[in-house]
Amino acid sequence: MDRIAVRGKRPLSGTVTISGMKNAALPILYACVLVNGVCTIENVPNVRDVTMSIDILRDMGATVKEVAGNTFEIDCRPVKQGTSNDELVKKLRASYYLLGAELGRFGRARVSMPGGCNFGGSRPIDQHIKGFEALGATVRTAGEVVEVEAPGGVVGDDVFFDTVTVGGTINIMLASVTAKGNTLIENAAREPHIVDLANFLNTCGAKISGAGTDVIRIRGVKELRGSRYAIIPDMIEAGTYMVAAAATGGCVRIENVIPKHLEAVTAKLEDIGAIVEEADDAVIVTGRERLNATRIKTRPYPGFPTDMHPQMSALLTRAHGTSIVVEGVYENRFKYADELKKMGADITVNGHTAVISEVEELHGAEVEAVDLRAGVAMIIAGLIADGETTITNINYIERGYDDVVGKLRRLGADIETVRD
Ligand code: EPU
């Protein structure tokens, strides 16, 4: 079984360059299904969720060419409706963007229920369904397959989400961008990747305003044309290196970032005693021998991101005092706590809350990446632990981090991927 081996206790130092954002690249790739032309997408991260999505699109008839490093030309005009491969689609959650994209282009969609990280709680799509229905579609679920159909075409309307949902907001944007009439999404997610998707669609001729606020207005257009677009930097990848720098007591310049997107992580790191300096498109994080405990509650953007909480928990295992981490987005995201305990961490999970008390030292152990962010949290724990940590199930990490082992090695970490 492939694994990552980390020998800890080396402060990270140097410069790391952040890749394009996975969670922006994915909807933008599926959005190409709506475009009547060739899209050239730059800054596409080399992560497995992206390569699997490209495989899904190619399998449906798209022509996808890598024309330069991280730049792809995508022509989805030949894509045939309802032809997504069930086995491929089940491997990643973002494939459900085909529901919105196919519905928008063909007036109907058929997609197997998506897979993705299993955090130990349910990840329903009732809000996506509610949104599609508001746009005049009927939705049927037969076994593991979701079918959506708007025989007369999609018609814009008001969609009010009961809960803030990134995926739901994206799916309704995709379904409505070429609909008849206007769509208003209220209680929309405000994440930077929602804005990135809107910017991409607008460069293709869409009329979307308000992305980045909780009200998004979409004036349906007849057609989208091909365009050239560069994906924003990955704020979660950047945040992960910020936390790793602070946790190891190192000093790392993290380049190709949008500091505004990192404010919640920056504020928390400063709160515990790390130093964060901002430049135009970089942040420099300096750790300290001793960091302090804190309280964190994850929330939708601009709150502290749920996708950063496992990494912060790994850091907090050694912070002075007792920290409280409350998960405010998912039902459960603490499966990693048992893995950190194998390394000597003192964590008690009760419902949505983890209490993390300082221990003198973490020690290396064999641990599992139970999901993507949990997996990278194990790497951070390994970087601060005494001895060797071996992380299994690393396919999760490779789904979302572009060359994490290479990037950390260049920062001085003693880390390698061991392939069997
Ligand atoms: N929810 C519902 N009903 C819905 C949709 C969502 O109840 O119809 C609930 C979910 O169960 C969850 C909350 O709303 O408790 C938020 O879910 P959301 O829809 O916002 O999440 P998502 O779109 O499934 C994306 C990212 C996740 C990230 C979340 C939150 C992608 C492909 N995935 O998921 O990223 O955690 O937003 O920011 O963009 C990751 O990259 O590691 C990852 C898991």
Give the per-residue pLDDT at 113. 78
CATH of domain 22-230: 3.65.10.10
User: Which structure tokens are listed for 401?
Assistant: 């981090």
Binding site membership of 348 for ligand 1 (Cβ less than 6 Å): no
Give the per-residue pLDDT at 142. 84
Give the per-residue pLDDT at 225. 98
What gap in Å lies between CA 294 and CA 273, rounded to an integer? 10
Binding site membership of 165 for ligand 1 (Cβ less than 6 Å): yes
What gap in Å lies between CA 240 and CA 308, rounded to an integer? 7
What gap in Å lies between CA 49 and CA 285, rounded to an integer? 28
For the question of residue 117 being annotated catalytic, the response is yes
Domain ranges in the chain with CATH number 3.65.10.10: 3-19+233-418, 22-230
Binding site membership of 330 for ligand 1 (Cβ less than 6 Å): yes
Tell how far the Cα of 388 is from the centroid of ligand 1, in angstroms. Answer: 33
**Residue 71 three-state SS:** strand
Tell me the Ramachandran region of residue 162: left when phi exceeds 0, alpha when psi lies from -120 to 50, beta otherwise: alpha
Residue with the nearest Cα to atom 2 of ligand 1?
124
- In CATH terms, is domain 3-19+233-418 a member of 3.30.470.10? no
Give the per-residue pLDDT at 120. 60
Tell how far the Cα of 361 is from the centroid of ligand 1, in angstroms. Answer: 34
- Are 35 and 225 spatial neighbours (Cβ–Cβ below 8 Å)? yes
Mutational test site, ligand 1, from 19, 21, 22, 23, max ligand atoms within 8 Å of CB: 23
Give the per-residue pLDDT at 126. 93
What gap in Å lies between CA 104 and CA 268, rounded to an integer? 40
Residue with the nearest Cα to atom 27 of ligand 1?
307
What is the H or E stretch that residue 94 is in?
A: none
Considering the candidates 76, 117, 204, 251, report the single residue annotated as catalytic.
Answer: 117
Mutational test site, ligand 1, from 28, 96, 123, max ligand atoms within 8 Å of CB: 123
Tell how far the Cα of 398 is from the centroid of ligand 1, in angstroms. Answer: 19
Give the per-residue pLDDT at 116. 58
The closest-lying atom of ligand 1 relative to the alpha carbon of residue 129 is 8
Binding site membership of 247 for ligand 1 (Cβ less than 6 Å): no
Residue with the nearest Cα to atom 39 of ligand 1?
23
What gap in Å lies between CA 334 and CA 139, rounded to an integer? 33
How many residues appear in the chain? 420
Closest CA to 90 of 109, 116, 60: 116
* Parts of the chain with a pLDDT under 70: 114-121
